[in-house]
Each structure stands twice: as C-alpha cells, then as structure tokens.
A and B are shown apart, each in its own frame.
Chain A
C-alpha cells in the first residue's frame, strides 16, 4: 500500500451542492496532486499543492479549489456541483527530491452527482 489515504470513499450529492474531499499524503511526501477520473478515461490533472501553495493547475474551472495544511494533508473543494463532476477523485503524493518524482495514489473518492 502507498500510505496515501482519502476520505470519504463514496459520496452522493445533488446538483448545486458543495463537496470537500480529503487526502493524507504518504509519510515524507510534501506534495499532493489531485486528479479527476471519469469512467473509461485516464485521470485528468486538477492541481497540485506544494508547501501549502498551489503549484500548477489543469484545465478545471475556479469552482474547483484546494488547500494544503502544514502536515501536508490536502482538501479538494468543488462548488456548484454539476452532473459531469461525477467521477473518481484521486489524490497522489510525491516528493520532488526523489529521482523521478513518482506520484503514488490513494484509493480515491467516488463522487456521484444526481
């Protein structure tokens, strides 16, 4: 196991609601990245946090926002949920000091928007 944890595992929301997903990184990793994976697709990069600052963002609207805390855990917030936000949300932790800066994924949160 990677040591990356996410909560909750499943979530059902309705359109227009807001959701917060949580991630704890692997011990020794100071960087957390968030991805959205729709059914049948590869994960799509949402953003990355390094030392509590956003460090890169993918093609997602501002209603997707995040935080990183001093212990390197992270939250992903999504406002004004839309049906298309239904997906598996993955967080990955990494350490830029590793040779290839590999990212290790948590088990994900499966979000269903009705």
Chain B
C-alpha cells in the first residue's frame, strides 16, 4: 500500500464549479499535512498547510480526518488558473522527509 494515495484524475470541470480532492495516508504517526500545487514542468508550490481543525484560504478549504486518515481539499468557484496537479503531502512525526502522493490533475475549462 502506498504511504499517500490520491486519485490521479484528471478532473475536468467548468469554470465556476466546486471540486474536491481526497487523499488517504497509511501511517497513523503522521503529524503534518500539506497541499502543494504543481504546474506542468514546474516546481511544487505550497498551497496550504492543513490544520487539525481544518482551515480556509479564500476559495480553498482543507480538512483533516485523523480517525479515517484522510485529507481533503475543496476548491470553490474554480478558475482557469487553478488548472494544475495538486499534491497531497504528509510528514510522519518530526521526520525530515515529506512524503508525496502522485498528485491529482485538475483541468478547468471554459
């Protein structure tokens, strides 16, 4: 079983739609959670850290469910510029490494 699993997509949605991505992680000792965004052939960019109580940043909402070991990202009012691959990332305890999922590709269309 992969340490971090994501639906690879692609998710094709029209502009203005709401889209949700889920991610599951296997190690119950995971302590820190993040969503990164990666554009084609570019580096990953930190979108949000995911707090235990859930958090919102504009059109983006992240949720954490420790009991079920999953993380979600909700994007409201999708824009063309949201088209990218969204990477779910976890850190186990205070370990140095981040463990990435393979990413979910989002394509927002007119």
Inter-chain residue pair count (beta carbon < 8 A): 56
Q: Which residue of A lies closest to B36 (CB)?
A: A105
Contact indicator B101/A42 (Cβ below 8 Å): yes
How distant is A1 from chain B, measured CB to nearest CB, in Å?
A: 10
Contact indicator A105/B45 (Cβ below 8 Å): yes
How distant is A57 from chain B, measured CB to nearest CB, in Å?
A: 9
Contact indicator A103/B49 (Cβ below 8 Å): no
Instruction: Kindly identify, within residues 55 to 98 of chain A, every residue whose CB is under 8 Å from any CB belonging to chain B.
Output: 55-56, 58, 88, 90, 92
Give the residues in chain A near B4, CB-CB below 8 Å.
42
| Given A42-B103, A43-B44: A100 and B97 interface contact (C-beta under 8 Å) | no
Contact indicator B43/A56 (Cβ below 8 Å): no
The interface size of chain B toward A, counting residues with CB under 8 Å, comes to 21
Contact indicator A105/B97 (Cβ below 8 Å): no
The interface size of chain A toward B, counting residues with CB under 8 Å, comes to 28
Contact indicator A108/B101 (Cβ below 8 Å): no
B34 at the interface (CB under 8 A from A): yes
Give the residues in chain A near B32, CB-CB below 8 Å.
100-101
Q: From the candidates A31, A50, A101, A107, name the one contacting B91 in the complex (CB within 8 A).
A: A101
B67 at the interface (CB under 8 A from A): no
Which 8 pairs of residues, A with B, have the shortest CB-CB distance?
A: A42-B100, A56-B96, A45-B97, A48-B96, A105-B43, A100-B49, A42-B102, A43-B100
Interface residues of B (CB under 8 A from A): 4, 32, 34, 41-46, 49, 87, 91, 95-103
Interface residues of A (CB under 8 A from B): 2, 31, 33, 35, 40-45, 48, 50, 55-56, 58, 88, 90, 92, 100-108, 110
